[in-house]
Chain A
Amino acid sequence: MSLDKPYTDVPGTTIFDADMSRMGYHLNQFCMSLMKAENRARFKANERAYLDEWPMSEEQKQAVLDRDLNRCIALGGNIYFLAKIGATDGKSFQQMAGSMTGMTEDQYREMMIKGGRSPEGNRYTGEKK
């Protein structure tokens, strides 16, 4: 029997559930390793070599190298773990979140100051805006 997942029709949103967590285990644990200063230094010195120490898929490694957070999430990454890559790069949480929306940093910041993204038209996939 398939499990109840009522959250697959929320647009632009991936819910990090047990299945995603299973897929993303090594990707997320790689991110976790960046909480140590010496690992951050080793990663920065040679990203590819550092990633090759982890049993991640090639797609996951490429998504990290590209800093494509949407792709990382599709491959099982979770934002709280991926944030460690952002911290290593010196990025704020707002810069990271904004990078996934297709907006520029200034546009995203401006949207937040004006009250954020409206839920109108953003509740269901295919909903009319």
Chain B
Amino acid sequence: MAKISASVFTSHVPAIGAALDLGKTGEDYWKPVFAGYDFAKQWEKEQKPDVVFLVFNDHATAFSLDMIPTFAIGTAAEYQPADEGWGPRPVPKVIGHPKLAAHIAQSVIQDDFDLTIVNKMDVDHGLTVPLSLIFGQVDAWPCPVIPFAVNVVQYPVPSGRRCFMLGKAIRKAIESYDEPLNVQIWGTGGMSHQLQGPRAGLINREWDNAFLDKLINDPDGLSKVPHIDYVREAGSEGIELVMWLIARGAMSDVNETKKGNAPTVRHRFYHVPASNTAVGHLILENN
């Protein structure tokens, strides 16, 4: 059977992608950001996941205001890096895993989460920046990726609670898949940032670190935090952090079936700033 071995959490700031693509990683401004991902790159080489289930959000790229799916699972064979207005990032195309994705869609919808199924979609920095940070600058991504897009652009976005419960349904789906695959689930976006209005530039180091603590030790409690707290404390775009709860909900310690022990924190990193944003990164291994 397939198994979720670990969850990885990271911000997905577009400027990080630009710094990588334009060869600026050695600059003083960027050095501390990329140093925070050295561990992940090494760790990932040892882990060798067969598939990454990647929770991200589209930033008005694949989805305009013509269609706004709350939860969308990619079941395509491949996805092209999108042109977000600056030209597509020079990164490999993303290979999907249609068979596992279709299995997850069927299982999760039968579990009352009404997913939108997407067979054609370009993927923006929300998906490709995490891949670059964790896998490095490579000619081909080392494994297939299932993109899972969450609407965090137009309110109301799904609640933290809904995301956490969805993570549990995704775990159930993955662990009922017949092939012995090593699957990782990634939650991306955040941390505190606000990109709009006179309050733009808001960063809340204390709140972000409390979020990381609770994500590790009390995800159930964290899932009950209302949207307004994210907006007030972590900025209007800090709301992206609800996506981390999907990945956390898929860990074995918070699930009743085949319940595991608390996960091992393999790595934790926090840095301000990357452009307008606080960067957070966490690796949890299932026990």
Chain A residues within 8 Å of B, Cβ to Cβ: 6-7, 10-18, 21, 24-25, 28-29, 31-32, 34-35, 69-70, 73, 78-81, 83-84, 86-88, 92-94, 96-98, 100-102, 108, 111-113, 115-119, 122-124
Contact = CB atoms under 8 A, between A and B. Distances in A.
B159 interface: no
Contacts of B14: 93
A101 B198 contact: yes
Given A11-B199, A88-B85, A94 B15 contact: yes
B228 A6 contact: yes
A84 B61 CA distance: 10
Contacts of A17: 154-156
Contact of B198 (A78, A81, A100): A100
B174 to A, nearest CB: 30
B64 A115 contact: no
Contacts of B237: 79
B56 to A, nearest CB: 13
A91 to B, nearest CB: 10
B151 to A, nearest CB: 11
A18 B239 CA distance: 16
B275 A28 contact: no
Given A79-B195, A101-B201, A119-B233, A112 B276 contact: yes
Contact of A16 (B15, B64, B154, B202): B154
B287 to A, nearest CB: 35
Contacts of B153: 16, 78, 80
Given A29-B65, A73-B197, A115-B205, 12 more contacts: A7-B228, A17-B156, A21-B65, A70-B197, A84-B85, A93-B276, A97-B200, A102-B198, A113-B29, A118-B202, A119-B232, A123-B233
Contact of B204 (A28, A86, A119): A119
Given A7-B228, A115-B203, A79 B272 contact: no
A57 to B, nearest CB: 16
B200 A98 contact: yes
Contact of A117 (B196, B202, B227, B275): B202
Contact of B196 (A14, A32, A94): A14
A15 B155 contact: yes
Interface of B: 14-15, 29, 59-61, 64-66, 68, 83-86, 153-156, 192, 194-205, 207, 226-228, 231-233, 236-237, 272-273, 275-276, 278
A16 B168 CA distance: 29
B86 to A, nearest CB: 5
Nearest to A16: B154
A37 to B, nearest CB: 8
Contacts of B227: 6-7
A70 B154 contact: no
A93 B65 contact: no
Contacts of A12: 197-200
B218 to A, nearest CB: 22
Contacts of A73: 196-197
A124 B232 CA distance: 8
B206 to A, nearest CB: 8
23 contacts: A6-B227, A28-B65, A29-B65, A29-B66, A35-B61, A78-B154, A80-B153, A83-B59, A83-B60, A84-B60, A93-B195, A93-B275, A97-B201, A101-B200, A108-B200, A112-B273, A112-B276, A115-B272, A116-B201, A116-B202, A117-B194, A117-B199, A117-B200
Given A17-B155, A28-B60, A10 B196 contact: no
B197 A78 contact: no
B89 to A, nearest CB: 13
A47 to B, nearest CB: 16
